[in-house]
Amino acid sequence: MRGAFAFFLAGIVGMAACGTGGGVDVVPSGATTGAGASGGAGGSGGDGGAGGDATGGGGSGGVPGAWCAPIPACDAPPPPPGEAVDWNAVIPPFGAPNHRGRDLFLNPGDPQWILAKFSYGTFDDDIKGEYVDVYVQRDCAGAWEHLGTATTTEDGEHATVEGVEDTGGRVYFEIPKEKALGLGRHRAHLVVKGDLSTTDLFLEVVPKGTPVFVSDIDGTLTTYETEEFVALAQGALPEVRKDAAKLFDVLVSKGYHPFYMTARPEWLGARTRAFLDQNGFPHGIVHTTLTKSGALGSEASTYKTGELTMLAQKGMIPTYAFGNTDTDAAAYFNAMVQPDERRVFIEFDDTVHGGRRIESYTELLAEAEALPSLCQ
């Protein structure tokens, strides 16, 4: 995180960006070479087709969309990157890459977008008018398909998609209908042609009504609210709360999809994934804010409410929600997570909306184990 580390001083104001407000605690953009501005695939590779299977689509007699098989690890080696090409810019980017992809839940029949931000160095400078190869691995298994080559945007060049405003240096790549992804979890891999640097993202295609739980991260999964920025300064990852990952594993075993939602700045996306992976949390969709500063106080509540509103538009209202601040409490109440005791707050009293306080995740394990499977 050399490129991100220097944001510590400039972004220290955002230490509480993960939901603070009380409590304890990533051709024209979207187009591909060979497909013009439609955003469809040109490029080579792959055999096309819808792909996908019923993984995550619910078992016989189960709830539609429930995870009824292990979540795929999505850890296969990336495809060969090919040869680097000259930069289009007169001056190439300076500093370490800090690219980030935007995970998405999608319903069958939705336009399927691959969205990412490409930037470098201390000040997170984005690259504009540069080529990016787009690959996908259906169901996180089998051969990689090269879908095409996108071009990073100028500021405001592309319309907002899935809540992602065009701040420049972004890729908006629409998967063509003939190569649409089927139900399940899929991995996209993007390669900057100028230096072969990369980023990945994940797409989950799920039916409306898919069961999901949502969790904040800072102070909710880490041991206190501002721990990430302290750990960043030390070149480490934050500590994790005991049994949080174990509890989430139990919920996944019952059929629920994880959604990790944090008001951290966008440039902390890679570290956020690293924290979840290092501590054994089940794979899910991960969202940060789309800004360089994150969101504070009421802005965090507004951001999270907006994220959960978009989720509801896909027919997904969280069955369980985990947080640690009044901003989490407000967002989860606004999202109509019911009953009240399923809005769970670690070491925090939700005196306004009546959520449930816990002191540790250990106390929820037996309760979660007793839940019925959504796959039966």
Query: What CATH number should be reported for the domain holding residue 217?
Result: 3.40.50.1000
Q: Is residue 275 part of a domain?
A: yes
Torsion of CA 89, 90, 93, 99, to 10 degrees: 0
Q: Domain with 166 in it: what CATH number?
A: 2.60.40
Residue 39 in this model has a pLDDT that exceeds 70: no
Chosen domain end from 181, 205, 229: 205
In a domain, 6, yes or no: no
pLDDT of residue 376: 77
pLDDT cut 90: percent of the chain above it: 83
Which of 205, 225, 245 is the C-terminal boundary of a domain? 205
Per residue in 79-134, pLDDT tens? 999 999 999 999 999 999 999 999 999 999 999 999 999 999 999 999 999 999 99
C-alpha to C-alpha distance for 154 and 97, rounded to whole angstroms: 18
Domain housing 348: 212-370
Whether pLDDT at 212 is above 60: yes
Asked if 244 and 283 sit in the same domain, the reply is yes
Number of structural domains (the chain) is 2
Residue of 219, 256, 233, 205 lying closest to 66 (CA atoms): 256
Q: Of 205, 234, 257, which residue constitutes the final position of a domain?
A: 205
Whether residue 14 is predicted with pLDDT greater than 70 in this model: the reply is no
Instruction: Assess if residue 109 is contained within a domain.
Output: yes
Instruction: Write phi, then psi, for 362 (nearest 5 degrees).
Output: -55, -35
Q: Is the pLDDT of residue 275 over 50?
A: yes
Same domain for 299 and 165:
no
User: pTM value?
Assistant: 0.86
For residues 228 and 336, state if they share a domain. yes
SS3 (DSSP) at 248: helix
**211/213 Cα distance (integer angstroms):** 7
Q: Mind listing the pLDDT tens digit for each residue in 329-368?
A: 999 999 999 999 999 999 999 999 999 999 999 999 999 9
Q: Read off the pLDDT of each residue in 239-243 and give the average, rounded to a whole number.
A: 99
